[in-house]
Amino acid sequence: MEGIVFSVPKGDTMKSKKSTYNRSFWIIAVLVSISGISCSDNTEIKPANPQTDIAALANIKEPVYRDFAEIKRSGVLRMITSYGSGTYFLHRGIQAGFEYELIRDFCKENDLALEVIIIGEGENPYDLLNSGAGDLIAASYTITKEREEVVDFTRPYNMADQLIVLSEGLGLEPESITELSGIPISVRRNSSYYVKLSQLQEEGFDIQINLVADDMDTEALLFQVANGVYGATVADNNFYEASNKYMDGLVKGPVIAENDTIAWAVRENAPDLKNNLNKYLYKHFRFDERGIPKRSAFLNVLRKKYYQGSTPVEDYFSPAVETRKFGGISPYDSLLQVVANEFDLDWVMLTSIAAQESKFNPNSESWAGAVGIMQVLPRFSEIPIESLFDPEINIREGARILKEQMDHYSYMDSISQWQFTLATYNAGPGHVADARRLAMDHNDDPNDWESVSKALLKLMQRKYYQHARYGFCRGIETVRYVSEITNRTNTYEAILALSQNGSDGFPGVLGIKTIN
């Protein structure tokens, strides 16, 4: 899809944005059908048999042991999710999404860094969980008996109705399940929708199930239905309502399941993690004595933001506009790539640092006096402070400082180089030197980041910092800074890899497939 650009004139209404978006997706849908990816005429309509599919949900049946204590010791919670408007996505380089913001708040309360694990093409989320690659699956999963065979679930944090969504091109507006006869309904075999449709078949309803690839999620199917590639699918009502704001061509059909409970999936042998997640969720979602759900103000804000409409979601559903403006992860990708190349730095890492430091705001100023996109401290630069608000100058100056530190640690491997460079960029060379000396005092390796990170935490205690040359250091901030930038870089790279592997698939901020 490179080189195909669609613009939305300034001042257009939401309806015109929907129309522009659907014109752009019509071309995507044509390319999909030409390339033979998930076409309606080469997917086989099959009868369902969910009992034979339970074992197929996961290949790894015995989960590794990593409960809340181990997660706390590591300092990082790893969230497995898909790339989509309701789960996790990038908005102008900044991480967003209903699931992401909710779990980030949990991490903040529990003093944890959050790492996002994007489900890759062909990867199994349950295997990622049980192998220990991640700690929980957060992808708007409905609790089903089949899924409970391979994972455990937290208490619910949302509820949804399953409804049939049809293509406007069919010219039908069925109001009951009995009116669906002869309409192939396209769903994934590994979805809760497939299970419900199978139950309806068993109850005697004339339901035709059209199985599609397991990596085509609800959002992608709605795109396809809106443009006539498929006749019908199933969606949660919140996904349908959010998508329908930005897409023409969808017709709401009958509800086939009411009040499905949505929860996070965890390993069966992680009861403490489940308990801590449940305590958190109880503050935000519970049922009153009449069974009516009660939500916290925070949860209602997230629901309104991601399901009722906001700028990030609007931009997500307008990939042509986003690509025209930015063309990748952030508003400054091209500049960051050029500067990174000049200084022989990793441009994705440089982008992650910019996101951490200023969220790409060139006018940002910190309480400590750091300014601009890379939050350069004027006392460490010969450039006049007013010039440091220029994005190109600021990024170059930040890259220069980072390069000096990378050269200082050139005797280390590349991972350690970046860890120590990031720590120095955040805390300053004096505090890092103090931490390395303290590590040696405890017979630890001063070139090992894990050892030095422990020493940085000790520099928050009087008995250690009173003997340090540069005194007190808020080491927890530096340790978290290194962890969050490293994790974000890994996530950016995963998203870029997906966009390259599946760029002719389905829209999104980067034009990649979503797979929840």
Phi, psi of 105 (to 5 degrees): -65, -40
Q: What confidence score (pLDDT) does residue 112 get?
A: 92
Q: What confidence score (pLDDT) does residue 41 get?
A: 39
Contact yes or no for 48/193 (Cβ under 8 A): no
Q: What confidence score (pLDDT) does residue 504 get?
A: 41
Question: Which entry of 115, 219, 357, 484 is annotated as an active-site residue?
Answer: 357
- 5 vs 215 pLDDT, higher one: 215
Contact yes or no for 445/484 (Cβ under 8 A): no
Q: Is the pLDDT of residue 509 over 50?
A: no
Average pLDDT over residues 463-476: 92
Q: What confidence score (pLDDT) does residue 42 get?
A: 41
Low-confidence winner among 64-68, 110-114, 319-323 (lowest mean pLDDT): 319-323
- Among the listed residues 276, 245, 303, the one whose alpha carbon sits nearest the alpha carbon of residue 106: 276
Q: Is the pLDDT of residue 454 over 50?
A: yes
Q: What confidence score (pLDDT) does residue 247 get?
A: 78
Per DSSP, the chain holds a count of helices (H) and strands (E) of: 20, 13
Strands 184-188 and 232-236, sheet pairing: parallel
Q: CA distances (Å), 195 to each of 47, 112, 143, in order?
A: 12, 36, 11
Q: What confidence score (pLDDT) does residue 281 get?
A: 97
Q: What confidence score (pLDDT) does residue 269 get?
A: 96
Q: What confidence score (pLDDT) does residue 305 get?
A: 85
Low-confidence winner among 35-44, 142-151, 369-378, 420-429 (lowest mean pLDDT): 35-44
Q: What is the pLDDT of residues 239-294, one digit of tens each?
A: 888 777 777 889 999 999 998 999 999 999 999 999 999 999 999 999 888 888 89
Q: What confidence score (pLDDT) does residue 12 get?
A: 40
Q: What confidence score (pLDDT) does residue 127 get?
A: 94
Residue 179 annotated among the catalytic residues of the structure = no
Low-confidence winner among 139-143, 173-177, 297-301, 318-322 (lowest mean pLDDT): 318-322
Q: What is the pLDDT of residues 139-172, one digit of tens each?
A: 989 998 889 989 999 999 999 899 999 999 999 9
Contact yes or no for 303/231 (Cβ under 8 A): no
pTM over 0.75: no
Q: Is the pLDDT of residue 513 over 70?
A: no
